[in-house]
Amino acid sequence: MTLSLDKVCTAEGVLLALFLVFSCALWIKKRRLPLPPGPTGWPIIGNVFDMPPNSEWEAFQRWGKESNSDIVYLNMAGTSIVVLNSVKAVKDLLEKRSSIYSNRTKFTAINEILGWSWLMPFMRYGAEWKERRRHFQRYFHPSALTIHKPQERQHIQFLLQRMSEDPNNYLHHIQHAIGGILYSVAYGFKIKEQDDPYIALAKQITGYLCQCAVPSMVAMDRIPKAIRTLIQPLLPGPIFSKPKQYWADLADHFLDAPFERVQQLMAEGKEEPSFLSESLKAELKPDESEQTRHAIIKDIAAIVFIGGSGTTTAILHTFMLSMLMHPEIQAKGQEEIDRVIGRRRLPDYDDEPNLPYCRALLREVYRQVQCQVFTNCYPNAFLCFRWHPAGPIGIPHFLDKDDEYNGYHIPKGSVVIANVWAMCQNEDEYPNPEIFNPERHLKDGKLDPDLRDPSLLNFGFGRRICPGMHMGMSMVWTTAMSILATYKISKALDKQGNEIEPKVEFVPLITVQPAPFDCTITPRHEGVRDLLFGTKDL
């Protein structure tokens, strides 16, 4: 039995018509999908005046609660901002749909005005970023933690010794120790001087980055280059007043000086094991030039150093303040260390599984101490930490094409922000979130497997998750537990012997962290000095 040509054509016509009708229906439905809820804005400028001068993460959370939605939409003078206030929304979009949510906005201030396009966290998603990511993971994957252990132990010992000799400068000692570990891992250099010029240069660069990574700077991505060139000299601050060559020379010195020094030491056979020396020894790939390889490893070495220093220091500084404010919790952690490890050696990362209370204590540091400290936070801190999250809203993602989620239309080109602060203050997961309570993470004396580990929210999401998170967590754990094992942190005393209440403020560096505060740091027992100075190695 055969069909006539007319019937075949009719059938094809019907199918084509149905396809067109179905496609049009989908298109109309898509166009009719509403944007996520958010505050009502003004014509043209949108929600520019709705954005608070500081602590914007709190406003994001409030708007979400008011609209009963875990995603919030803002129009910032034509730039679409989509805020994700829940872990579920973050996982559904930034992780499950990472193929379209892994890009970055232009970051005009960093990549064009400063010309620092070598900074991997701010790179657009593409071949250059992927190559650097692959190379980073090749040397810093989780199973390679032993690579930095010797440097970690040595610099932690230096830190504890300096805290014994000069406890008032505890923050400087912490910064120096973390910088020394990362500098040694990246380049193989040993830093013993308290005022190393390369660490000072890194602090200078991170300071400029902080100024460029605030939300108001993202608005520059929408300004045409011709107009930006005209208004740039009129804008305040060194970012706009200094010539482009100044920023280029600063970056070149930061990238090239240690690289050339390692090359010279290798030529003399005097180099120490490091990421850079091992990378220079590796064979080139068939399609890779020496120039390309050098550019990649210079960028990565600089990111290892600059990327980990600020965040890790912020966490440890926050840990110090939390122990000062909660002496009873400090004592419980010290009791567990004494009972499990004893007083004849310092804690190591391998001890972590055997110290559940200390693990819970650090998880609570990662999560939050007292929410009200946000009211003292300096304005417009964009890259932050978590005590308060050390990164309450992190580095924003960028949506490459139109998307749909929970019945809402999310426009292509949206800047997508993960509001980690809101996730860490979720009362359904963390009742009474304003209270610093390590016990919330424990069940029957062990870590509660059903409660989310807030430390995992610190390092980004999807393809943009920090590839060095395992090394960072190791440094935080070993340093914090070593301080806890050897020193008592208590309130400072005035001349009359009365306790001085610390003034809790936060300042923006590359992360937001507590402002320096006075405290008393004393050895916990008579064996501390022998433990720190009696042997050369830990």
Of the two residues 132 and 210, the one the predictor is more confident about is 132
Q: Is 492 in contact with 499 (CB distance < 8 Å)?
A: yes
- Quote the CA–CA distance of 404 and 236 in Å, as a whole number: 40
pLDDT of res. 20: 53
16, pLDDT greater than 60 = no
H helix intervals, 224-345: 225-231, 238-241, 244-267, 275-281, 290-325, 327-340
Q: Is 177 in contact with 320 (CB distance < 8 Å)?
A: no
Percent of the chain with pLDDT over 70: 83
Q: Identify whether 100 is part of a domain.
A: yes
Q: Identify whether 261 is part of a domain.
A: yes
Q: pLDDT averaged over the chain? A: 83
pLDDT of res. 375: 30
Q: Is 27 in contact with 387 (CB distance < 8 Å)?
A: no
Q: Identify whether 29 is part of a domain.
A: no
Give the orientation angle of helix 356-367 with respect to helix 469-486, to 10 degrees. 120
pLDDT of res. 507: 55
Q: Is 455 in contact with 473 (CB distance < 8 Å)?
A: yes
- Quote the CA–CA distance of 126 and 148 in Å, as a whole number: 29
275: closest CA among 464, 143, 148? Answer: 148
25, pLDDT greater than 90 = no
CATH assignment of the domain containing 372: 1.10.630.10
- Kindly provide the b/e burial profile for residues 40-54, where b requires at least 16 CB atoms within 10 angstroms of the residue's own CB: ebeeeebbbebbeee
299-353: pLDDT as tens digits? 999 998 887 777 788 889 889 989 999 999 999 999 999 999 999 999 998 999 9
9 is known to lie in a ligand binding site:
no
Furthest-apart CA atoms within the chain: distance in Å: 109
Greatest mean pLDDT among 18-32, 365-379, 452-466 lies in: 452-466
Domain count, the chain: 1
| Burial classification of residue 200, based on how many CB atoms lie within 10 Å of its CB (0-12 exposed, 13-18 middle, 19 or more buried) | exposed
181-239: pLDDT as tens digits? 999 999 998 876 666 788 788 888 888 887 786 656 766 787 888 888 888 888 877 88
Residue type, 491: K
1, pLDDT greater than 90 = no
| Cβ neighbours for 119, distance < 8 A, ≥ 6 positions apart | 110, 209, 299, 303
Q: Identify whether 13 is part of a domain.
A: no
Partners of 514 in the β-ladder: 506
Weakest-pLDDT range from 336-340, 373-377, 467-471: 373-377
Q: Please, what is the end-to-end C-alpha distance for the chain in angstroms?
A: 89
Q: Look at the block and give the residue holding tokens 């990565």.
A: 300
> Reduced to 3 states, what is the DSSP secondary structure of residue 520?
strand
- Quote the CA–CA distance of 337 and 210 in Å, as a whole number: 37
Of the two residues 188 and 514, the one the predictor is more confident about is 188
398, pLDDT greater than 80 = yes
pLDDT of res. 434: 84
366: closest CA among 412, 433, 416, 309? Answer: 433
Q: Is 406 in contact with 386 (CB distance < 8 Å)?
A: no
Q: Identify whether 203 is part of a domain.
A: yes
If you compute the radius of gyration of the chain from its CA atoms, what whole number of angstroms results? 26
Q: Look at the block and give the residue holding tokens 């803002």.
A: 74
| Burial classification of residue 18, based on how many CB atoms lie within 10 Å of its CB (0-12 exposed, 13-18 middle, 19 or more buried) | exposed
Q: Look at the block and give the residue holding tokens 């220093």.
A: 309
* DSSP character string of 153-207: HHHHHHHHHHHHH-GGGHHHHHHHHHHHHHHHHHH-----STT-HHHHHHHHHHH
254-290: pLDDT as tens digits? 999 999 999 999 999 999 989 999 999 988 888 889 9
Q: Which domain holds residue 139?
A: 34-533
Give the orientation angle of helix 244-267 with respect to helix 197-212, to 10 degrees. 140
